[in-house]
Amino acid sequence: MSRFAPHRPSSSNPRPSADTVCQKCLQRGHYTFNCKTTARPYATRPSRTQMLENPDKFAKIARPAVNEDLPDEFLSKKGLADKILKENALKREAEEQAAKRKLALKGAESRRVFKG
Ligand SMILES: [Zn+2]
């Protein structure tokens, strides 16, 4: 046995919980590699055409629930672009004013130099 390998028996022999779903027979309580079923059950699901023809009937499948972690400002997309543009305009204005102040300072310095 390696000195550096983890000595946890549970990691090499995991136990399935009651919620564990077998992907082969779709039953709970065992892993797929422990499945003893030979015949796979047929799980029906709507085709894409059926979903497109009856969007209300398959609304749950087609559209998953909205992520609740999303901030409020992204939930309603109305006015988001205007908000971003306004912020950028304010930033640009502040930069322009800073540049103007710098130019004014330089002008004052050059005038002082010209006088002296
Ligand atoms: Zn199974």
36 and 75 co-located in one domain: no
Q: Is the pLDDT of residue 73 over 70?
A: no
Residue 6 lies in a domain: yes
Interval between CA 65 and ligand 1 midpoint (Å): 29
In the numeric block, the tokens 């797929």 are attached to 32
Residue 61 lies in a domain: no
- Quote the domain boundaries for residue 107: 71-116
Residue 87 lies in a domain: yes
- Contact, 10 vs 26, CB < 8 A? no
Please tell me the distance from the alpha carbon of residue 104 to that of residue 116, in angstroms, as a whole number.
18
Interval between CA 38 and ligand 1 midpoint (Å): 9
- pLDDT-based confidence at residue 80 (cuts at 50, 70, 90): confident
Tens-place pLDDT, residues 15-30: 888 889 999 998 899 9
Residue 46 lies in a domain: no
Distance of CA 107 to the CA centre of its chain: 51
Tens-place pLDDT, residues 39-69: 888 888 889 999 899 888 887 655 555 566 6
75 and 35 co-located in one domain: no
Sequence-distant (6+) residues with CB within 8 A of 23 are 32
- Rounded to two decimals, what is the model's pTM? 0.33
Domain count, the chain: 2
Beta bridge partners of 108: none
